A and B are shown apart, each in its own frame.
Chain A
Amino acid sequence: QKEVEQNSGPLSVPEGAIASLNCTYSDRGSQSFFWYRQYSGKSPELIMSIYSNGDKEDGRFTAQLNKASQYVSLLIRDSQPSDSATYLCAVKGGSEKLVFGKGTKLTVNP
């Protein structure tokens, strides 16, 4: 059974701080890694994708991938109250399916 584990949270950070979200996965054959954001009562929306080891930056968001450690993370710099949401890590392996973690709820306090 392919698994994706996320730090359960909830995670609370003050406005302007860095929020760090972590994810580990069990399938070494995984090829693509995604971070989705889900606001309460809404559907997941993609915010970052990463396919190779290292860092990928997009605005205030940085995704980090370490395939040897089977670890992927998301850093949110200068956190804003509007970043308050549940963040879902998703992993795609050799098949077409995405396997999702259960999510980490982030609250950014003004």
Chain B
Amino acid sequence: DAGVIQSPRHEVTEMGQEVTLRCKPISGHNSLFWYRQTMMRGLELLIYFNNNVPIDDSGMPEDRFSAKMPNASFSTLKIQPSEPRDSAVYFCASILGLRATDTQYFGPGTRLTVL
């Protein structure tokens, strides 16, 4: 299995620009999670989907952030407009089901730098 795939791996952009991060979950997994990791705040859950439906977006920082999952094999996280404080590593993770014992598998992450 290829694991969770994220693209791009690195993104450098200027303040005000739109940024789109992409994720392909492990085939057959029915839940997908977007996280953001910084030194100051650690690993934070932004939003998660179950069967392509957003279940909890309470971690999304503000309206500049949006996420979609149009089908079971693809999700995007968009930031518009981007700000320097959005600089972080963004991880996507997927999980087979929602049982307590299920394990989340992380993608390699996208390192975002907003200048």
Binding site for B on A (CB under 8 A): 31-32, 34, 42-46, 49, 51, 88, 92, 95-103
Q: Which residues of B, 27-63, contact A by the 8 Å Cβ criterion?
A: 31, 33, 41-45, 48, 50, 55-56
Report the bound CA distance from A58 to B41 in whole Å.
30
Q: A42-B108, A46-B103 are in contact. Are A102 and B42 (CB under 8 A)?
A: yes
The bracket for how many chain B residues form the interface is 20 to 34
**B41 surroundings in chain A (CB, below 8 A):** 102
Binding site for A on B (CB under 8 A): 31, 33, 41-45, 48, 50, 55-56, 91, 98, 100-101, 103-109
Q: A43-B91, A43-B109, A44-B43 are in contact. Are A98 and B104 (CB under 8 A)?
A: yes
Among A31, A43, A96, contact of B107 (Cβ-Cβ < 8 Å): A43
Report the bound CA distance from A49 to B99 in whole Å.
13
Among A96, A100, A103, contact of B48 (Cβ-Cβ < 8 Å): A96
